[in-house]
Amino acid sequence: MSDQTGIDRITQAFAHAQTTQSAALMPYFTLGYPSPAESVAIIEKFAPHCDLIELGVPFSDPIADGPTIQRSTQKSLDAGTTVKKCLAMVSELRTRGVDTPAMLMGYYNPIMAYGIDNYVRDAKAAGADGLIVPDLPPEESAELEAAADKHGIAYIFFLAPTSNEARIDAVAERAKGFIYMVSVAGVTGARTQIRTGLDEFVRDVRAKAAVPVAVGFGISSPDQARTVGDYADGVIVGSALVNAYDAGGADSAGEFVAALRAGLTN
């Protein structure tokens, strides 16, 4: 790991993808699923095929997650996964040589229980580059955002097709690293179609923001990844990757991410 900030590393990952004329690929996987050791091995398997990684910190009430991610997080919790253990898994990935910029996706309650500054400090020390907190709106995120700035990692804001102009303008002004664009007004989960008009909304946000825009929720195939990658700076895939692992193990997960990469670059 270098002395660069997490924001620097995220920015460089998107810039590198752009030089290859591809959107950045950011898979999601749940830490501790199906066990801590196996999740580390799975992430290590697919990491070479992606630009960034979103690592899920399990929580008992994941309001933004659909059935697939909920099932994986519950199994992780049942196996005894805690915030400290998640940070240890991130550290283990770094020890194994996985240097891909990593976002910790977790809910605000465990962060508050851990202590906001303590969480951000320890996340940075473990090797995290950014924080994604789906249940914390921008109007209430100042304390966590300040802690992220203090420790040199990115606090990632969300936007959705339902976001009004005031919310879009506020996020565009404050965003660091990238903006996480939710493709649907709903929860995560693989879907057969991408929302009509999403491309126009992404372009509108990109015109206002100084950071890249990555799209997640519902992308389930290389063809969909390629379609979204034609107008977005990044593509986030979660439920479909968990499904790929469930169907065929770590090798299947690695092959699926490789196929997404091929879909984006072809």
Find the mean pLDDT for residues 16-24.
92
C-alpha span between 164 and 174 (Å, rounded): 16
Q: Mean pLDDT over all residues of the chain?
A: 92
- Looking at residue 169, its pLDDT comes to 95
Q: Of 85-89, 190-194, 222-226, where does the model show the most confidence?
A: 85-89
* 251 Rama class: left (phi>0) / alpha (psi -120 to 50) / beta: alpha
Q: Is 246 a catalytic residue?
A: no
Find the mean pLDDT for residues 108-132.
98
- pLDDT higher at 210 or 65: 210
Q: pLDDT band for position 184 (50/70/90)?
A: low
For the stretch 135-171, pLDDT in tens is 999 999 999 999 999 999 999 999 988 899 999 999 9
Q: pLDDT band for position 188 (50/70/90)?
A: very low
Residue 200 burial by Cβ neighbours in a 10 Å radius (0-12, 13-18, 19+): exposed
- Looking at residue 246, its pLDDT comes to 95
pTM recorded for the entire structure = 0.92
- Looking at residue 64, its pLDDT comes to 60
Q: Which domains does the chain have, with CATH numbers?
A: 6-265 (3.20.20.70)
- Looking at residue 30, its pLDDT comes to 96
**Taking the CB of residue 250, how many other CB atoms lie within 10 A of it?**
17
CB contact set of 21 (below 8 Å; sequence gap of 6+): 265
- Looking at residue 63, its pLDDT comes to 77
C-alpha span between 169 and 205 (Å, rounded): 9
Looking at 54, 92, 122, 145, which residue is catalytic?
Answer: 54
Looking at 51, 65, 92, 122, which residue is catalytic?
Answer: 65
Q: Is 54 a catalytic residue?
A: yes
Q: pLDDT band for position 195 (50/70/90)?
A: low
| Bridge-based pairing state of the strands 53-56 and 24-30 | parallel
Tokens 């995290």: give the residue: 128
